[in-house]
Amino acid sequence: MLKLEEEICKRGKIMNGEILKVDSFLNHQVDPKLMEAIGEEFYHYFKKYPITKVVTIETSGIAPALMCALKLEVPMIFIKKAQPSTMQEAYVSHVFSFTKNKSYTICLSKHLIDKEDHILFIDDFLANGQAFLGVEQIIREAGAVIDGVGIVIDKTFQDGHLLIKEKGYDLYSLAKIKSLDENGVIFDESL
C-alpha cells in the first residue's frame, strides 16, 4: 500500500536493526485518515470471505481492525491481555514476546465467538508470529474458522510471515519490510 509505505518512510524511525518506531501515526498517536485507508484496503482484499467478526489483540491492532470492521459491517473484538474480574467464562492462551522477552496471557470471553463465526485477524505488526499463534489457539477452541490474516506492517525478515503462510492462511500485509538499517527501510515487493 503506497500511502502506508510513504508514511513509514516519512514518519517512521528505525530504532535498531529490528524495530521500527511508528508512534506518530500507528501505535501511540493514531492517524485517522490513514486508518480509514487501511480499513478500506483490508476490506477490498477480504470481502471475498463471509467474515462475521474482525479480531485483534489490544492495544495497537484496535485502530486498523475497527476501520476494517466498519467497512465489512461486522463487530470488532479485541482480545485482552489481562482477564478482568467481570470476565467469567474465558478462552485463555499464552504468548511469548521475543521483542519484550516475556510471556503474557491473552483471553477472550467465551460468549463472543462460536463455531458459526468466520474470523479475520488484523494486527499492526507481524514479527515472530507468536501473538497470532495465541489467537489461533483461542479461535480453534471456540470452533470458529480463520478466513484471513491482515497485517499493517509485516517484518518479513523475521519468522512470522513464513509461519503463517506455511500454515496455509491467506495473509495480506500492507507494508512488507525486508530490512531496516541505517540506510532506511527496504520494502519487499516479492512475497
The residue ranges that bind ligand G4P (CB under 6 A) are: 19-22, 27, 57, 59-61, 97-100, 124-131, 155, 160
Q: Give the shortest CB-133-to-ligand G4P separation in angstroms.
A: 8
Q: 122: which residues sit within 8 A by CB, 6+ positions away?
A: 42, 54, 55, 56, 61, 64, 65, 68, 149, 150, 151, 152
Taking the least distance from each CB to ligand G4P, the nearer of 82 and 111 is: 82
In the complex, what is the shortest distance from the CB of residue 98 to ligand G4P, in angstroms, rounded to a whole number?
4
DSSP one-letter code for 74: S
Q: How far is the CB of 145 from ligand G4P (least distance, A)?
A: 21
Distance between CA atoms of residues 125 and 18, nearest Å: 12
CB 22 → ligand G4P: shortest distance, Å? 6
* Residue number with CB closer to ligand G4P (101 or 190): 101
Return the number of the residue (91 or 125) whose C-beta is nearest ligand G4P: 125
**Element (H or E) spanning 8, and its range?**
helix 2-11
